[in-house]
């Protein structure tokens, strides 16, 4: 028998159950993190100069302002769709000053824009992730007043072991080489970003990535115990970071996949054409009979600044309000058309100014409550 209470203020088991309450991030005071090998492993090379020369400064202020307006508008749209929205608290000095611990110093902290990266709700519990970047060590702080409030109302609250993030956690920059399956984080201690995990009831999927190590995955496995199965998926992706731009559950029996990063994990193969080439997508056998929806290429112009990610977040990083309603970026016409063909009701929200900060609607949110119970979909 499950100990999970569906009436708890914190209750979410999947990416698709009807969304009742959500945290939407704030991008205010977003600060450029310092150059570090853990960033080099994932940041687009054309922005490396910015990290090397402008760490500790604000991201371009006009962009931050427009992104902040987009977040406010997105929050209003969610409220109009009947979702309760809560926001983190950003205080002066949260990000734009140096921090030090016994193990490292960092010129700044990053932001509170991406609750999905730092928090994950599994059942009745909110878990704070032990993130792998020094610039994100204190990222839980802007969310603490919300988490305390949920705890007081009966929600569960766990902070995974805080990493030391000494040099032992990273491959030194002069030894670091990029390549699929090569990771910049060592197994010194558990680390993961919450957005590395995606939830389908009793089955939870994760990838080893530049910010999530096997030790971190094992911590989650033991923490969650027998009621859950954690499955590690492997993708062709040399900058792997966060599964929600790569493999996105859309409902029971439905998953959205990024054609640029095929899954190479199992024997259940499907094929599709991407840029004139036939591609193989190999999932574990448990996905037999599932619909594999292939994401459309993003239409974001090449010149659009993306400081942290590939452009695929524009088309893949969608938020489901239930099995029917999906929030898509308003200029991504091909994606919108596809979702309609697949039978979804599309809610179009402009988010182009937010994308540069490393994600879209899924990243910018964290589920607090979705109607539903813990089930198995396989
Ligand atoms: O480049 O697709 C997405 C990360 C979103 N949290 C990417 C990474």
Q: Which of 29, 363, 366, 367 is catalytic?
A: 363
Please report where in the chains the tokens 């995955």 appear, as a residue: 217
Please name the residue whose Cα sits nearest to atom 5 of ligand 1.
359
Report yes or no on 96 lying in a domain.
yes
Q: Is the CB of 25 under 6 A from ligand 1?
A: no
For ligand 1, say whether the CB of 313 is within 6 Å of any of its atoms: yes
pLDDT the model gives residue 218? 98
Catalytic residue among 36, 242, 353, 362, which? 242
- 14 located within any domain: no
pLDDT at residue 3, rounded to an integer: 79
Query: How far is 192 from 217, CA to CA, in rounded Å?
Result: 7
Atom index in ligand 1 nearest the CA of residue 116 equals: 6
Ligand 1 pocket member 38 (CB < 6 A): no
Q: pLDDT 10s per residue in the chain (378 long)?
A: 457 999 999 999 999 999 999 999 999 999 999 999 999 999 999 999 999 999 999 999 999 999 999 999 999 999 999 999 999 999 999 999 999 999 999 999 999 999 999 999 999 999 999 999 999 999 999 999 999 999 999 999 999 999 999 999 999 999 999 998 899 999 999 999 999 999 999 999 999 999 999 999 999 999 999 999 999 999 999 999 999 999 999 999 999 999 999 999 999 999 999 989 999 999 999 999 999 999 999 999 999 999 999 999 999 999 999 999 999 999 999 999 999 999 999 999 999 999 999 999 999 999 999 999 999 999
Q: How many CA atoms lie within 13 A of 128 on its CB side?
A: 19
Catalytic status, residue 263 = no
* Residue 244 CB less than 6 A away from ligand 1: yes
Q: Residue 375 domain-assigned?
A: no
Q: How many whole angstroms from 314 Cα to the centroid of ligand 1?
A: 9
| DSSP secondary structure code for residue 168 in this structure | G
Helix (H) or strand (E) holding 367: strand 365-370
Does a structural domain hold residue 164? Answer: yes
In testing the pocket of ligand 1, which one of 39, 248, 312 has its CB within 8 Å of the most ligand atoms? 312
CA of 152 to the centre of ligand 1 (A): 33
pLDDT digit string, tens, across residues 12-33: 999 999 999 999 999 999 999 9
308 alpha carbon to ligand 1 midpoint, in Å? Answer: 8
Report residue 58: phi and psi, to 5°: -70, 145
> How many distinct structural domains can be found in the chain?
1
Q: Which atom of ligand 1 is nearest to the CA of 114?
A: 6
Is the CB of 195 inside a 6 Å radius of any atom of ligand 1? yes
For a ligand 1 pocket test, name from 44, 310, 360 the mutation site with the most ligand atoms within 8 angstroms of its C-beta.
Answer: 310
Q: Which one is catalytic: 193, 203, 237, 367?
A: 193
Q: Euclidean distance between the first and final Cα of the chain, in Å?
A: 19
13 part of a folded domain: no
Residue 86 lies in a domain: yes
Residue 193 catalytic? yes
259 Cα: distance to centroid of ligand 1 (angstroms): 14
Residue 60 DSSP label: P
Among residues 17, 4, 1, 3, the alpha carbon closest in space to that of 369 is found at 17
- Whether 353 is in a domain gets the answer yes
Out of 113, 131, 206, 317, give the residue to mutate to test ligand 1, the one with the largest number of ligand atoms within 8 Å of its CB: 317
Q: How high is the pLDDT of residue 268? A: 96
Confirm whether 362 is a catalytic residue.
no
Nearest-angstrom CA–CA distance, 185 and 94: 26
Q: Are 154 and 34 in contact (CB under 8 A)?
A: no
Does residue 363 line the site of ligand 1, with CB under 6 A? yes
pLDDT at 2: 55
Q: What is the pLDDT of residues 238-287, one digit of tens each?
A: 999 999 999 999 999 999 999 999 999 999 999 999 989 999 999 999 99
For ligand 1, atom 2, the nearest C-alpha belongs to 245
11 located within any domain: no
Residue 31: domain span: 19-370
261 alpha carbon – ligand 1 mean position (Å):
11
* Structure confidence at residue 1 (pLDDT): 41
CB 195 within 8 A of CB 117: yes
Ligand 1 center to residue 153 CA distance, Å? 33
Q: Is any ligand 1 atom within 6 A of the Cβ of residue 190?
A: no
Cα gap 204→125, rounded to integer Å: 15
- The CATH number given to whatever domain includes residue 52 is 3.75.10.10
């Amino acid at each position: 028998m499950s100990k999970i209470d569906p009436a708890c203020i914190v209750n979410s088991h999947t990416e698709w159950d009807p969304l009742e309450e959500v945290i939407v991030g704030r991008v205010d005071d977003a600060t450029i993190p310092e150059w570090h090998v853990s960033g080099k492993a994932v940041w687009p090379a054309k922005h490396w100069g910015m990290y090397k020369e402008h760490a500790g400064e604000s991201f371009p202020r006009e962009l931050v302002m427009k992104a902040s307006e987009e977040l406010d508008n997105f929050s209003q749209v969610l409220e109009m769709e009947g979702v309760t929205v809560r926001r983190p608290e950003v205080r002066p000095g949260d990000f734009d000053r140096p921090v030090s611990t016994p193990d490292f110093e960092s010129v700044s902290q990053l932001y509170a824009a991406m609750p999905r990266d730092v928090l994950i709700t599994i059942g009745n519990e909110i878990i704070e992730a032990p993130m792998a970047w020094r610039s994100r060590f204190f990222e839980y702080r802007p969310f603490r007043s919300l988490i305390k409030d949920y705890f007081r109302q009966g929600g569960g609250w766990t902070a995974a072991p805080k990493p030391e993030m000494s040099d032992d956690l990273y491959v030194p920059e002069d030894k670091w080489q990029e390549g699929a399956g090569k990771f910049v984080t060592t197994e010194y201690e558990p680390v993961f970003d919450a957005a590395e995990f995606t939830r389908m009831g009793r089955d939870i999927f994760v990838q080893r990535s530049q910010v999530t190590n096997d030790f971190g995955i094992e911590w989650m496995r033991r923490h969650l115990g027998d009621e859950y199965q954690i499955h590690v998926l492997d993708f062709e992706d040399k900058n792997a970071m966060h599964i929600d731009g790569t493999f996105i559950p859309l409902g029971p029996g439905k998953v959205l996949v990024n054609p640029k990063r095929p899954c190479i994990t199992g024997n259940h193969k499907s094929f599709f054409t991407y840029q004139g080439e036939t591609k193989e997508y190999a999932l574990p056998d448990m996905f037999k009979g599932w619909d594999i929806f292939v994401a459309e290429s993003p239409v974001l112009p090449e010149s659009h600044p993306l400081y942290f990610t590939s452009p695929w977040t524009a088309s893949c990083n969608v938020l489901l309000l239930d099995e029917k309603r999906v929030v898509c970026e308003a200029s991504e016409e091909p994606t919108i058309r596809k979702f309609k063909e697949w039978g979804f009701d599309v809610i179009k929200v402009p988010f182009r100014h937010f994308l540069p900060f490393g994600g879209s609607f899924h990243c910018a949110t964290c589920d607090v409550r979705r109607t539903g119970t813990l089930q198995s979909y396989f």
